[in-house]
Amino acid sequence: MEEQKNHSRCKEQCKTLLLHAEKNMDMVVEAFELIVRDFAIIMILATVMALISHRLKQPMVIAYIIAGMIIGPYTPPFSLISQTDTLEVFAEIGVILLLFVVGMEFPIAKLKQVGGKASIIAAAEAGGTFLAGFGAGQLLGFSFYDSLFVALAISVTSTVIVMRVLEEMKLIKDQSSTLILGVAIIEDIIIISMLAVLQSVASTGTLSFIEIGISVGLVLAFIGGTIFLGARTVPKFIDLIGRMNNYDVLVIALLGVAFGMAFIAFELGISVAAGAFFAGVLVAESKMHSVSVVLATPIRDMFAALFFISIGALMDITLLPTFIVPALILVAVSYAGKFFTVWSSARAQGFDRITSARAGFGLSSSGGELALVTAQAGAATGVTSAFLLPMIGAMTIITTFMSPYVIKFGFKFAERWKNKGGEDTATASTDTTATEQ
């Protein structure tokens, strides 16, 4: 009798376990089905918006953000996607791959060639615009961390848009364009380093000189280790893999470096964006750099699209009346702050008025990918308000539309100085090599 009872009890337990297993399996299948459905909706809508954007000759970033807003949970009458958590995971992967490929464009040798003058101008621009943005945020009644993150976001220059406009104007080889590119390179590194420090401080929940000192020390140690240790190992490893003539293995190795550096940065309490960026810098030192860029770009493009779509999807457009006026004010502060700091610091470095003005207008284009990465980082740490992400997203759309016209008008406006006095002619020869010093 006792054995029969034990046998019956075992059968009941087995049935219960099987029922739980079936339910769990059904839940997994259902979740997978929803993810696939969401992914299909995202990719189809992104394709449609990208085609429209291409036809209208507008940046793809705008198309992806608008696509995200259409499918997001905050757009009436209902959300087209159900797994926003999965979308956020894809977005994080997009940040890593986006910054990884960006880092590939900045080999250490190229950074050394930028020169001291461009570095001083970049530091003045980033620092000046950051302080102006923080002050504006405080005057607008933002919280302390909201002001910090929005100040960093408006300090970013949209290098891709600037270079594209200069290419269309056939001024890419102009002296001012060389200066703009040099300043933009250093500025990207400054902004990414500042983001790493800011995110590290924000994650601790306390703000003190000791915490800031520790965060700055960690970032500097990470960058120093990357340059002095990583530069001696990672490029050789990539070249070794490249000699196998197997692109499949090379892609896996590249992703391993990108996510490995991002993980190290994350464990140190630094932004994964910083880890991925400097991983790209290390790969740029290898002989397989050109092939690596070609192989990594398609993967980057897909996940970068998911990143921008997720930003759009997480933008609560119902808050638009709340932040539209502050957004416009901050856009104006960004343009004014960037132009003034670049123009004045360029003049202080000995550049003529035309070059200084062109650099000021060219670098006044705020927003772009790094601004959205900054906004997303603030949201991820949980220290910023709900309106900050959609506000920075709206600011990015506004500045992306405005920037080509501002640059074109600004360059034509700078031409007025050509016939005024002999200063520009006298200094032109000395400024030809200014960005190399």
Please give the pLDDT value at position 308.
79
* Residue 194's pLDDT band (cuts 50, 70, 90): confident
Residue 342 inside a domain? The answer is: yes
Residue corresponding to tokens 């019956």 = 8
How many structural domains does the chain have? Answer: 1
Residue 48 lies in a domain: no
Mean pLDDT for the chain overall: 79
Does residue 310 contact residue 88 with C-beta atoms inside 8 Å? yes
- Which neighbouring-strand residues pair with 157? 366
The per-residue pLDDT for 24 is 60
φ, ψ of residue 298 in degrees (nearest 5)? -60, -40
CB neighbour burial string for 350-384, b if at least 16 within 10 angstroms, e if fewer: ebbbbbbbbbbbbbbbbbbbbbbbbbbbbbbbebb
Which residue type does 103 have? G
pLDDT in tens, 264-292: 888 877 778 778 888 988 998 888 888 88
What phi and psi, each to the nearest 5 degrees, are found at residue 58? Answer: -115, 155
Average pLDDT over residues 405-428: 65
What number is the average pLDDT over the span 117-128? Answer: 89
* Inside any domain, residue 49: no
Domain hosting residue 251, numbered range: 94-436
Per-residue pLDDT band for 219 (boundaries 50, 70, 90) equals: confident
Q: How many CB atoms lie within 10 A of CB 69?
A: 21
- The per-residue pLDDT for 206 is 63
Q: What are the b/e assignments for 264-293, b being 16+ CB within 10 Å?
A: bbbebbbbbbbbbbbbbbbbbbbebbeebb
In a domain, 319, yes or no: yes
pLDDT digits over 51-107, tens only?
A: 988 888 777 777 888 888 888 777 766 667 766 677 777 777 887 888 888 788 777
Higher pLDDT, 246 or 26: 246
The domain spanning residue 387 has which CATH number? Answer: 1.20.1530.20
Domain membership flag for residue 296: yes
Angle in degrees, CA 345, 112, 241, rounded to 5? 140
- Determine the pLDDT at residue 130: 93
Reported as type and span, the H/E element at residue 106 is: none
Q: Is residue 161 part of a domain?
A: yes
In residues, how long is the chain? Answer: 437
What gap in Å lies between CA 192 and CA 182, rounded to an integer? 16
Residue 243 in domain: yes
| Tens digit of each residue's pLDDT (9 = 90 or more) over 292-345 | 888 888 887 887 788 778 778 777 777 778 888 998 999 999 999 999 999 999
Long-range Cβ contact pairs of 262-265 (< 8 A, separation 24 or more):
262/96, 264/222, 265/196, 265/222
Q: What region, left, alpha or beta, does residue 266 occupy, with left being phi > 0 and alpha being psi -120 to 50 degrees? A: alpha
| Residue 115 Ramachandran class (φ > 0 left, ψ -120 to 50 alpha, else beta) | left
- 366 forms beta bridges with 157
Confidence of residue 232 (pLDDT cuts 50, 70, 90): confident
**More confidently predicted of 399 and 422:** 399
pLDDT at 29: 67
Cis peptide leading into residue 77 (ω within 30°)? yes
Please state, in angstroms and as integers, the Cα–Cα distance from residue 351 to each residue in 120, 179, 408, following that order. Answer: 13, 10, 20
Q: Is residue 72 part of a domain?
A: no
- pLDDT band for position 128 (50/70/90)? very high
